[in-house]
């Protein structure tokens, strides 16, 4: 346990953090990888590692690095591949996105408002031609006063009112979920001055709900160019299923109740909780969607002879 960012409380706190990979359908999700994240201070503390049983093979890895390893293992095992969804803690990491692209995997990932991009039709300055016949030819892209990227927040604030569309992506408990969003093609600008060619174009999706003083969420996506805005928004918002299911895992099945201090115990606890959840998901899928939403019509077990509910006037008192 260490003081670090805790998503459950939305701030720094003394907590454990795990990196997980889930596969999901339109209605349910299932974790297929789960590993405790160790801060670098923990990894470098030999005494603490020995006391908690952290294997010698575990070296420090960032959360995006752990996630990439989980995705790679899942691909090697032949798990079905889909669009990779991740929050800004992973999507802001350029290496994370670049590795997914190398693996020919599309993604829709959150990014921070400070993420720099090139506006549509703009880009870094090409390397100037070599003067004379001496010296190496210049290859790296360059920037100058007229060639500067912008943050996604700056770009969002510069959009016209016509750029924003009201999009409904699913039916909520009480009403349809909708918001104002805009999507445009951009080029990521992170360290492109160390490259000979600019980054490929991607979708930048921005959410600016009515009544808010500024945009609230940003995503980069490598889905097809001709994808409709409503489909792109549906994918970006699909992570709610995983968040919902993890809430159930933590509260109903005890995933968040582990109080031990050992590496092995933590992962055994998580494995049993996820296995139990997998059983419940399989059982739920035996019924039609309409049956899952309402009364399943299961017969109640017969009550034993002489049964009286606890606290009823007819129940006998026990000493």
User: What pLDDT, on the 0 to 100 scale, is given for residue 289?
Assistant: 61
The answer on 226 and 104 residing in a single domain is yes
SS3 54: coil
Q: What is residue 305's DSSP assignment? A: T
The answer on 232 and 87 residing in a single domain is yes
User: What pLDDT, on the 0 to 100 scale, is given for residue 296?
Assistant: 39
The answer on 258 and 225 residing in a single domain is no
Cα 108 to Cα 122, 226, 242, 263: the distances in Å are: 22, 15, 15, 32
The answer on 103 and 19 residing in a single domain is no
The answer on 160 and 260 residing in a single domain is no
The pLDDT mean for the chain works out to: 84
User: What pLDDT, on the 0 to 100 scale, is given for residue 140?
Assistant: 63
The answer on 89 and 44 residing in a single domain is no
User: Lowest mean pLDDT: which of 25-29, 44-48, 214-218, 308-312?
Assistant: 308-312
Please indicate, yes or no, if residue 312 is contained in any of the structural domains: no
Please indicate, yes or no, if residue 305 is contained in any of the structural domains: no
Q: Is the pLDDT of residue 312 over 70?
A: no
The answer on 56 and 100 residing in a single domain is no
Q: Is the pLDDT of residue 131 over 70?
A: no
**Cβ(181)–Cβ(67) under 8 Å?**
no
- Mean pLDDT, rounded, for 1-24: 68
Q: Is the pLDDT of residue 89 over 90?
A: yes
User: Lowest mean pLDDT: which of 4-13, 162-171, 209-218?
Assistant: 4-13
> For the chain, what is the domain count?
2
The answer on 280 and 190 residing in a single domain is no
The answer on 76 and 87 residing in a single domain is no
Q: Is the pLDDT of residue 313 over 80?
A: no
**Cβ(78)–Cβ(189) under 8 Å?**
no
Structural tokens at position 192? 């492109």
User: 45 is in which domain, residue-wise?
Assistant: 1-81+252-286
User: What pLDDT, on the 0 to 100 scale, is given for residue 297?
Assistant: 41
* 203-248 pLDDT tens trace: 999 999 999 999 999 999 999 999 999 999 999 999 999 999 999 9
The answer on 194 and 156 residing in a single domain is yes
Q: What is residue 6's DSSP assignment? A: E
């Amino acid at each position: 346990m260490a003081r670090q960012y805790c998503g459950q409380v939305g701030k720094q706190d003394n907590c454990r953090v795990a990196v997980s990979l889930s596969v999901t359908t339109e209605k349910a999700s299932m974790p297929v990888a789960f590993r405790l994240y160790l801060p670098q201070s923990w990894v470098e503390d030999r005494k603490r590692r020995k006391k908690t049983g952290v294997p010698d093979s575990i070296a420090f890895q960032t959360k995006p690095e752990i996630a990439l390893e989980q995705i790679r293992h899942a691909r090697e095992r032949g798990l079905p591949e889909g669009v990779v969804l991740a929050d800004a803690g992973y999507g802001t990491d350029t290496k994370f996105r670049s590795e997914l692209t190398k693996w020919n995997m599309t993604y829709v990932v959150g990014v921070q408002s400070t993420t720099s991009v090139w506006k549509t039709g703009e880009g870094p300055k090409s390397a100037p031609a070599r003067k004379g016949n001496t010296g190496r030819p210049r290859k790296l892209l360059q920037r100058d006063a007229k060639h500067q990227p912008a943050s996604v927040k700056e770009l969002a604030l510069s959009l016209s009112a016509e750029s924003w569309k009201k999009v409904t992506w699913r039916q909520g408990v009480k009403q349809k979920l909708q918001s104002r969003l805009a999507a445009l093609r951009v080029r990521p600008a992170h360290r492109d001055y160390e490259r000979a060619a600019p980054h490929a174009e991607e979708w930048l999706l921005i959410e600016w709900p009515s009544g808010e003083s500024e945009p609230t969420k940003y995503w980069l996506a490598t889905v097809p160019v001709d994808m409709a805005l409503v489909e792109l928004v549906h994918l970006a918002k699909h992570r709610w299923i995983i968040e919902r299911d993890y809430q159930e895992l933590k509260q109903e099945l005890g995933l968040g109740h582990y109080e031990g201090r050992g590496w092995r115990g933590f992962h055994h606890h998580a494995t049993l909780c996820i296995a139990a959840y997998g059983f419940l998901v399989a059982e739920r899928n035996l019924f039609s969607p309409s049956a899952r939403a309402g009364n399943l019509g299961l017969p109640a077990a017969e009550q034993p002879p002489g049964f009286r509910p606890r606290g009823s006037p007819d129940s006998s008192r026990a000493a």
